[in-house]
Amino acid sequence: MDISNEAITIVRNKIGESIPVGGTAEDTLFTEQQIQLWIQAAPTINHAIVEGWETKIAHWANLVDVTDGASSRKMGALITNGEARLKYYRGLIIGGDSLARSRTRVGKIVRRG
């Protein structure tokens, strides 16, 4: 797949690793080279995004829930939320990028007798 600055920005935005205003890639979890490798190896942008989420969840797996006095941080929720995003983007890959994949058809059940 074509590695452009636009593709890198799209992947960064979709995995929640945008470069902050006035910042650099060093201010995020992933380097430009890592994201370029994902895009280069991916057949579509969604495949690169899935790779990013898988890597991000792997980083989060090292974090633990912390309780210190009256304050606590539930880091386990990060993985749960990340897995939800991963499931979403895997669904896009499986179902294609059309809107038809998300529409529900409602039929009418008729019972005779």
Quick: pLDDT tens for 27-63.
999 999 999 999 999 999 999 999 999 999 998 888 7
pTM (predicted TM-score): 0.74
In a domain, 19, yes or no: no
Beta bridge partners of 72: 67
All residues at 6 or more sequence positions from 102 whose CB lies less than 8 Å from its CB, including other chains = 95
In a domain, 46, yes or no: yes
In a domain, 78, yes or no: yes
Dihedral angle, C-alpha 97, 102, 105, 106, nearest 10 °: 180
Q: In which domain, by residue range, is 47 found?
A: 1-9+32-97
pLDDT number for residue 52: 96
The domain tally of the chain equals 1
3-class state of residue 30 by DSSP: coil
* Per-range mean pLDDT, top range of 1-15, 43-57, 90-104: 43-57
In a domain, 112, yes or no: no
